[in-house]
């Protein structure tokens, strides 16, 4: 079985006002199709930079990054966007939902880039909302839903394209403890169904629920262990 993502000696350097800043300094990591991985570290450790690279939102300055078996260094912007749409689902702490759009149409949005017709997009979005327990909320807008419900909409949107990897950046950061536990249980259920989950968090209790923990410091992986 081909690994979902393989990073080999990946580095990322930014030029800030003429000063070279190394956000990642040679990171090697493999995400298998059934993985549930937590990436932890303090602010500035490089975990968010690594998440952006793993999701194809940015490209490494050095090293090799394979997403879905493809070397991202040889892809043009259009090919990169297509690879992201087909392979990666994103869930963010702040949800990033369109405020004046229903849950169903928020979830259907990534399918626009697949060229699907409106009826098919809405059908798939409705099915995905049912999957995350929001069949009763398909026509509600974000301001009519709780934080936990909004995060579930965001997860449904991330899953509607059938990605092999779900990248979640602090997905419980804006939620109360009980709601956060519910969202984590949903991620674990999705992982058991075959979706690889990579979770970035500063919360050690959240990280402890993953199958593997990766600790970052100063742009490097300093430890990696199965839980």
pLDDT digit string, tens, across residues 75-123:
999 999 999 988 999 998 888 999 999 999 999 999 998 888 999 999 9
**How confident is the model over 135-165, as pLDDT tens digits?**
999 999 999 999 999 999 999 999 999 999 9
- Partners of 213 in the β-ladder: 38, 225
Helix (H) or strand (E) holding 110: helix 103-112
Residue 23's pLDDT is 94
Task: Judge contact between 84 and 70, C-beta under 8 A.
Answer: no
Q: What is the CATH number of domain 34-48+76-226?
A: 3.40.50.300
First CA to last CA distance, the chain: 23
pLDDT at 194 over 80: yes
Mean pLDDT of 172-188: 90
**How confident is the model over 23-73, as pLDDT tens digits?**
999 999 999 998 999 999 988 899 999 999 999 999 999 999 999 999 999
pTM for the model stands at 0.90
How far apart CA 225 and CA 207 sit, in angstroms, is 12
Residue ranges of domains in the chain:
34-48+76-226
Residues sharing a CB contact under 8 Å with residue 134, sequence separation 6 or more, in sequence order: 103, 149, 152, 153, 156
């Amino acid at each position: 079985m081909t690994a979902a993502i393989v990073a080999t000696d990946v580095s990322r350097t930014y030029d800030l006002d003429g000063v070279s800043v190394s956000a990642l300094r040679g990171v090697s990591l493999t995400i298998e199709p059934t993985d549930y991985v937590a990436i932890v570290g303090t602010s500035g450790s490089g975990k968010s930079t690594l998440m952006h690279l793993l999701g194809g939102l940015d490209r490494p300055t050095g090293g090799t990054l394979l997403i879905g078996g493809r070397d991202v260094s040889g892809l043009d912007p259009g090919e990169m966007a297509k690879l992201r749409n087909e392979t990666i689902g994103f869930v963010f702490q702040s949800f990033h939902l369109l405020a004046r759009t229903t849950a169903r149409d928020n979830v259907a949005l990534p399918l626009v880039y697949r060229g699907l017709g409106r009826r098919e997009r809405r059908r798939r979005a409705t099915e995905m909302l049912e999957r995350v327990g929001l069949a009763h909320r398909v026509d509600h807008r974000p301001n009519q839903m709780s934080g936990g419900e909004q995060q579930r909409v965001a997860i449904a949107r991330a899953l509607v394209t059938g990605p092999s990897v779900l990248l979640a950046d602090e997905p419980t950061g804006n939620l109360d403890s009980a709601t956060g536990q519910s969202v984590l249980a949903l991620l674990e259920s999705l992982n058991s169904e075959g979706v690889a989950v990579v979770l970035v968090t500063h919360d050690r209790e959240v990280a402890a629920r993953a199958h593997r923990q990766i600790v970052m410091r100063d742009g490097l992986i300093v430890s990696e262990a199965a839980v």
